[in-house]
Amino acid sequence: GAVVSQHPSRVICKSGTSVKIECRSLDFQATTMFWYRQFPKQSLMLMATSNEGSKATYEQGVEKDKFLINHASLTLSTLTVTSAHPEDSSFYICSARIFDTQYFGPGTRLTVL
C-alpha cells in the first residue's frame, strides 16, 4: 500500500524557536500533499494544500508566515512552524495524494513550552 512517513513523531521546543516537520511519500510520487492540524477530540482541520514546485495554498485563518510549507519534490513536503508559541502546540498530520485517495503520515505531536 501507499506509505507516508512523517518526522519527527514528537517534538518539544521552547517558545520562540522554529520547528521543521518532514512528510515523505515512500513508495509513490505525490503531486499534492496536505497539512492538517488536529485538536484533541476533534476532526482534522486543513491548513494548506501543497503542490510540487508551486506555492502552497493556505486555508483562511492560517498564517502563511508562521507555517511555512515547502514542497520541493514529488516525495517530500516540509512544514516549518516559525517562532513557535504555546498556542501552536498541537497534533500536525500530513497526507499525500495518489489518484483520489489521501494517505496519511503518522503525525507529529508538537509541544511548545
Partner 1 sequence: AQKITQTQPGMFVQEKEAVTLDCTYDTSDQSYGLFWYKQPSSGEMIFLIYQGSYDEQNATEGRYSLNFQKARKSANLVISASQLGDSAMYFCAMREGGSNYQLIWGAGTKLIIKP
Contact footprint for partner 1 (CB under 8 A): 32, 34, 38, 42-44, 46, 49, 57, 91, 93, 95, 97, 100-107, 109
Smallest distance, partner 1 to C-beta of residue 4, A: 9
Smallest distance, partner 1 to C-beta of residue 52, A: 13
> Among residues 8 and 106, whose Cβ is nearest to partner 1?
106
> Among residues 38 and 82, whose Cβ is nearest to partner 1?
38
> Among residues 38 and 70, whose Cβ is nearest to partner 1?
38
- Scored b (16 or more CB within 10 A) or e, 3-40 reads ebebeeeebebeeeeebebbbbbeebebebbbbbbeee
Smallest distance, partner 1 to C-beta of residue 71, A: 14
77 CB contacts (<8 Å, ≥6 apart)?
Answer: 22, 23, 33, 35, 50, 69, 70, 71, 94, 96
> Among residues 20 and 109, whose Cβ is nearest to partner 1?
109
Rounded to whole angstroms, the Cα distance separating 59 from 46 reads 7
